[in-house]
Every structure is written in structure tokens, then in C-alpha cells.
Amino acid sequence: MTDIVKGLRIVEVSAFIAAPYAGLTLAQMGADVIRIDPVGGGLDHKRWPLTRDGQSLYWAGLNKGKRSIMLNVREDEGRALAHALMTKPGPGSGIVLSNLPARGWLDFANLKAMRDDLIMMNITGNRDGSVALDYTVNAAAGFPLVTGPADQPVNHVMPIWDVLAGMTAANGILAAERHRRQTGKGQFVSLALADTAFSTLSHLGYIGEVQINGDARPATGNQVYGTYGQDFATLDGRRVMITAFTPRHWRALVTATETGDRMATVADLFGSNLDREEARWEARDAITAVLKPWFGDRDLGDIRATLDQAGACWGPYQSFTQAVEEDPRISTDNPMFETVDQPGIGPYLAAGTMLDFTAAPRAPVSPAPQLGADTDAILVGELGLGDGEIGRLHDAGIVAGAD
Amino acid sequence: MTDIVKGLRIVEVSAFIAAPYAGLTLAQMGADVIRIDPVGGGLDHKRWPLTRDGQSLYWAGLNKGKRSIMLNVREDEGRALAHALMTKPGPGSGIVLSNLPARGWLDFANLKAMRDDLIMMNITGNRDGSVALDYTVNAAAGFPLVTGPADQPVNHVMPIWDVLAGMTAANGILAAERHRRQTGKGQFVSLALADTAFSTLSHLGYIGEVQINGDARPATGNQVYGTYGQDFATLDGRRVMITAFTPRHWRALVTATETGDRMATVADLFGSNLDREEARWEARDAITAVLKPWFGDRDLGDIRATLDQAGACWGPYQSFTQAVEEDPRISTDNPMFETVDQPGIGPYLAAGTMLDFTAAPRAPVSPAPQLGADTDAILVGELGLGDGEIGRLHDAGIVAGAD
């Protein structure tokens, strides 16, 4: 956490990853993010992974540092409370973030009538509002057919388009709020999850390959297209990923593995200069054949010491367990991480913002709220309701708090 | 393009993906982004994919809408020009973006001495400044060991951590610039590529699985952990990805495939209610066995019509070629895309910003500059140099322009 964007107040109505990730990003930079959920929780409240007690580690991860209120928006009175939060006056307020359809109680024109300079950031699946999830977008974008060794599509496990959409939506809010402070005008900002993947095809050259070159990227397993990258097995049953994108990293790799003479022979064989990445690509299988025994004859510890000493660019493959238990970058040695005591779950390592702002030092990482933990405090503090009124709303099933 | 952040002026010193992607994001939102490259281009200027003429489609993709100047920063005079651009007065200026080490000519304290409210956004590999690339970070983060069907690590092809770092850096700049307008203070902002992956392990619950549950996510191929997702082969040799995260999507899938009776039997078999995602996960192999013939007996066109009619959540796998040639979402039917005429490459489809800002409509997508195309215009327009002086700088090899 940091207070770099302190003063921003965002009302989030969301589920799953993209919008919650956007809210998380802004909350961890100091925004006050109020997440509204239906009584009992939304679609994602019990999303796996769960603890043995049935608490969602996923929900807890994506909602750190937010406040939680439960409102029954099927009732007029619940909707009115939600709208009052969304359209509350104040220079940093009046910002709504959602990946639910922007209609019905989330209709922008209706909200704008209540606060003219409202900003609403809305994430859809496809641009036309039709459904698309990370998994279906990814299938359409081409990556699974060139991932992995087989001729079957391989889906990524990391929901990359969702996370990218979330970070993009955080950008959208910051850009729109900047614009509002300059012009006084709010606006509706929209983002289609599918476009995160399709814009990437443009930005990284994939569309050009098809349209200009008339071909497309081949599947190359764990090799890195157009340069040198390869994974190797080690003597002790681990695997490592080796890259040599630059002449410096290539020379470090050759030095570390003492393969200078043999690589000179490989260069002769191909009549090329292996300092050039396209030459390394052409000769990649020969390079790999030369390097393979060096890795296969050594334990990871020896490999680490030798490659690090030489300044090579490499890394070990780690399971999630190895990453969490062995990698010092995933520990409180890394200022991004702290141990937080997550209500209902217990103490564990949690990440704050990835960004280090020297003008706004890190504050403690906040856990996620329990669902509805802030209901009454928000009704009092934000909407000025009295105890009697709040009690009536609870009794009528319009609001609910944490048990 | 849009002018939502018009007035921001960013000097980018970068290579490969993360920082160029951050600059691209801001340029496509209306920032004036000046990319400084060494004479002849940086490490990424010929990065694959290339056209048959040797032009980098990758470089062209990542530098759309920027201006390009070539400076020889090994010479004092070249460095002085770079510093003058970076520290030029003006409310939106004084912002430096780099993924090169922030030392030597990119030393923050030195630049701050020239402009006290300078903002510098710096991306490193690891937090300690040591090298880490998308590929080595990914290996460390655990995902390759649970991706794909085999027991070998499978690297993603999409450089997800690089792209996420780029979008995060764009956020960092917007947040720091907001802070500067509020306080008058600049700052050094840093981001480690590795932390994009490790924070994700926290946000999506992976760390909790290891530390709280004492186990870790298993490899599940193309299935989706904890709910129902599966790929299927079609009669005409295509593949589709089917998901059913919500009760509504599950019922749509069952209706479309006319498998209600058989799914009721599956539910009986497991004594569970398949409207619940954890029940679908438990019964996933039986569900897949029931569905498989339905997909195998039909062409993609029939499947599309039937599933869309029912409102199921699914998508076809597409190769890059199929995506570009067949998917209307990757065409000028999508307002994000336009045909641009890229100098040295030709006309092709290019994506502008993913975000639609209603208060700042889309302007045409700008191509990438040729390397050095703006050298003289920047020296005149930004630094006020005269023709004679510019000629001398060219002759002395301090600056260079496009051929």
C-alpha cells in the first residue's frame, strides 16, 4: 500500500478477476475502494482455491485493501443506497468500476443524471457486450496453438487477459480522472477483454506476420523465436531456462559453460557469427546439443553459482511450492511482501503494489475485508445514516453485514 | 489514439517490450512520447518477427505513435541533448521512462538536479537490479510446470509479464504525474519485472494454497481449476474451448447439447447438483465424456450456431492466421483497429488504445516512426537548435536521422 493516489474513491461492482484486479491496483496505491456485493456474496465469493474451511483464497487475494458492503440491489432501497455511494459529491469521488453489464441499476445515463461528472469504467467480454472469458479469448487469439510441444492446443494457466484488462482499467480510471480535473467532465470508459488479446497481436507483430509476410509464428516449444532460449534438465532432476538475447548474455553463457571452442565450430558449421541473434536462432539445435551435457552433469546449485558468476541470463523452473518456500523474492526480504493476518484465513504472505514510489513510501499491506465487514461503517460514514435506520435496513434485508 | 492524456510529454529510453509497451500505451492515449535510440538503433531494432526486407514488425508494433530521435549518448554532447529533452520545462514534461539501468547518463539524482520535479519511471528485471527476463521470471513463478498435458515445463509464448509490467509502468507514470500536480513534487518510481509475476501469485491465491493449505495447484491441462472448462475436437478438425463458470452458462451448455437427461444421471452418480461449480469440477471427466461425441459429430459452424443460440460461453481455437483472416473482431469492424501505412513495411491492420473514452473520441492510429525520423524536428521544435548547429551535430556523429 502507498498513498500515491489518496483521495480517489471508487465504487466497485464486480466479479472474478478483471474489475477486482483494477480495484485492487488502485486500492494498493491508496484509493478508497468500496466493493458492493449482493447479500451472501457474488459469483466469485467462493471461487477456488479455497481453504479447508471453505474460504476463498482467490477472493481474499483480489480484494485486499478494499472495503466491503452488502446491498440487496434487487430492491429499490438497496439500489438507492448503491447509487448514493456511486454519486456522492467530492472531487475524488464519483468513480464507478464494474465488469457487470452497464444497464439496469448500472445504467450510466441514470447515474450521470445524479452526478453529472461521473466516471464509469466498464469492462465487457466482447466489445458488443457478448460474453467472453479469458479462456475463450485466449483460444481465439492464437497462442494456445503455438504453446507447448504437442500439436494440441495448450491453454495458459495464468489468466493473462483478465489481469491485463484489470491493469488497463486502472489506467483508464487514472486517465479519465486526470481529464475530469482538467475539464470538469466525467465520462463512460469501456474496455473489452477480447481487445486486450487482439491489441497484443498488433503490438507484438503477429498481425504483421500474417498480413505482410503471409505466414505466422511457428510453434517452437520452449525455444524463443528469433534468438536463443532453451530449457535444460539438470543432474538433480530440476530444469532451468536459459536465454541469450544479447551478445553479452551469449558470451556469458559460453564462458560459463566453457564451450567457446565448440561454439566456434558451430559458427563455422553455419558460416555465421553467433553474436547475432538470428544466427543463434538458425543454429539453435546445434547450440542446444553442445550445452545439454553441461547442464545434465551438474546440480542446480553448481549451475546457479557458475552462471551467476559469469552474468548469464537464466532462471530455474520452480513449482508454486518451491517458489513460495525457496525463492527469497517471495518473502518479506522483498519489500513488496508482508505477512498479513487475513480474517477467516490466517497469516500469510501478501503482496502490496508492485510500484515503488519514492514520494509515497509503502504503508502496511491491508488484508481483504470479510464480506460485508464495512456495511454499517459505510452507511454511517459515507451516507450519514443513523443507527435506527441502519437497523431497519438490516431487518428488511436491504443490507447485510459480516457475521 | 485519443487525446485523453494530451499534454503529457514522455522521454523513453528503452528496449524490447516492457518500457516500449508503457510508452505505447501512453502515446495511444495522447501523450507525446519521444523515444531516444542510439545511432543505428537499439538492441530491439531488428527483433523478430521481421519482414522479408528485414524490417522489424515487433519494433513497428511497439512504437506506434511515438517520435524517434537518434542520439549518440556516449558523447557528452549527445548526453546533454538527451538530458535537455528529459528535463525540459513545462507542466506535462519532465517525465522519463526507461528499462535501462538508472545509472550513468540515466542517473536520477543528476537529472533531478536539472529539473527538481522530474518523474522517472524505471523498470528493472529483479528488484536488486539483476537481470531477469519474462522467460526466466515465468520459469520461477510456477506456471510452466502446470501448463500443458505433459510433465515437462511448458513456457507461455505470450510474454505476459513484460506486457503486464508495461501497463503497470503506465499506471505508475499517471499516478506520479497526478501526485506532482497536487504537490509539485517529482520522484523516482521503480518496478521489477519479477514482481509482476510474484504479486500475481499473491493476488490469485497461489501463495495461500502453499502457505495455508500446504499444497499447490495441480496441472489440469486445458481444464479450468475448480469449475468446468474443457477443449473439444470438432468433426471438421477444429477445436473449441467450452466454459461453464456460472449456473446460467452451465444450463445453456446442457440445453444446447441436449444432454439434460444424461447430465441428470451424472449428477446422480456423484450425488451432487451440477449447478454448483465445485460439483462440475468433481464430475468433470464424466461431463466431458458425455459432451465429447456432440462436438465430434458436428462442424464448427453448426457448433457455433447452436451454442450461440443457447447463450453458452465458448470460443473456437484459432491459429494466428485464422484469427487475423477470419475473426471480425480483428478487422476494421472493430473501432480499435485501423489500417495504417507503416513506413518501410506497408499497409496493415494496427490497434489503437484498448480503452474507449467517450469524452475523448478515437483519432487515427499513428504508425511507428522510422528510426530517427523526428531527429531534426525534435532538435528544432523542442530544443530550439538552428540549422547550422543541427548540421554540425550530424557531421560530428552526435545525432542521426532516418535515411
For residue A381, give how far its alpha carbon lies from the nearest alpha carbon of chain B (Å).
Answer: 25
pLDDT of residue A217: 84
Q: Taking 90 as the threshold, does the pLDDT of residue A148 lie above it? A: no
Are A204 and B17 within 8 A, CB to CB? yes
pLDDT of residue A403: 73
For residue A366, give how far its alpha carbon lies from the nearest alpha carbon of chain B (Å).
Answer: 12
* pLDDT class of A149 with cuts at 50, 70, 90: confident
Are A213 and B49 within 8 A, CB to CB? yes
Are B154 and A154 within 8 A, CB to CB? yes
Are B198 and A249 within 8 A, CB to CB? no
Q: Is A162 exposed, middle or buried, given 0-12, 13-18 or 19+ CB atoms closer than 10 A?
A: buried
Name the nearest CA neighbour of A190 among A88, A108, A91.
Answer: A108
Are B355 and A175 within 8 A, CB to CB? yes
Question: Shortest CB distance from A334 goes to which of B127, B171, B249?
Answer: B127
pLDDT of residue A135: 94
Are A209 and B320 within 8 A, CB to CB? yes
Are B208 and A317 within 8 A, CB to CB? no
- Tell me, what DSSP letter sits at residue A42? -
The chain A residue lying nearest B51, using CA atoms, is A213
Q: Taking 90 as the threshold, does the pLDDT of residue A216 lie above it? A: no
Question: Shortest CB distance from A210 goes to which of B171, B324, B337?
Answer: B324
A vs B, Cβ pairs < 8 A, gives 496
pLDDT of residue B179: 97
Q: Taking 80 as the threshold, does the pLDDT of residue A289 lie above it? A: yes
The chain B residue lying nearest A193, using CA atoms, is B354
Q: Taking 80 as the threshold, does the pLDDT of residue A4 lie above it? A: yes
Name the nearest CA neighbour of A369 among A29, A59, A99.
Answer: A59
- Tell me: the pLDDT tens digits for A16-44? 999 999 999 999 999 999 999 999 999 99
User: What is the pLDDT averaged over residues A184-205?
Assistant: 98
pLDDT tens-digit profile, chain B (403 residues): 789 999 999 999 999 999 999 999 999 999 999 999 999 999 999 999 999 999 999 999 999 999 999 999 999 999 999 999 999 999 999 999 999 999 999 999 999 999 999 999 999 999 998 999 999 999 999 999 999 876 789 998 999 999 999 999 999 999 999 999 999 999 999 999 999 999 999 999 999 999 999 988 888 899 999 999 999 999 999 999 999 999 999 999 999 999 999 999 999 999 999 999 999 999 999 999 999 999 999 999 999 999 999 999 999 999 999 999 999 999 999 999 999 999 999 999 999 999 999 999 999 999 999 999 999 999 999 999 999 999 999 999 999 999 7
Residue A162 bears catalytic tag = yes
Q: Which of A162, A195, A374, A376 is catalytic?
A: A162
pTM for this entry: 0.97
Mutate to test the interface with B, among A130, A155, A326 (most CBs of B within 10 A): A155
Q: Is A121 exposed, middle or buried, given 0-12, 13-18 or 19+ CB atoms closer than 10 A?
A: buried
Question: Shortest CB distance from B229 goes to which of A135, A183, A334?
Answer: A135
- The type of residue at A345 is I
Residue with cell 513506413: B343
pLDDT of residue A218: 85
Name the nearest CA neighbour of A190 among A134, A138, A125, A140.
Answer: A125
Residues in chain A: 403
Which residues does B192 contact at the CB level (< 8 Å), separation at least 6?
A: A354, B123, B124, B125, B126, B127, B132
* pLDDT class of A360 with cuts at 50, 70, 90: very high
* pLDDT class of A369 with cuts at 50, 70, 90: very high
User: What is the pLDDT averaged over residues A111-117?
Assistant: 98
* pLDDT class of A257 with cuts at 50, 70, 90: very high
Which residues does B301 contact at the CB level (< 8 Å), separation at least 6?
A: none
CB atoms within 10 A of CB A45: 16
pLDDT of residue B152: 85
* pLDDT class of A152 with cuts at 50, 70, 90: confident
Average pLDDT, chain A: 96
Are A207 and B241 within 8 A, CB to CB? no
Beta bridge partners of B124: B192
Question: Shortest CB distance from A51 goes to which of B47, B212, B227?
Answer: B212
pLDDT of residue A180: 98
pLDDT of residue A2: 84
Name the nearest CA neighbour of A316 among B293, B220, B139, B266.
Answer: B139
Mutate to test the interface with B, among A1, A64, A355, A362 (most CBs of B within 10 A): A355
The chain B residue lying nearest A222, using CA atoms, is B155
ipTM above 0.90, yes or no: yes
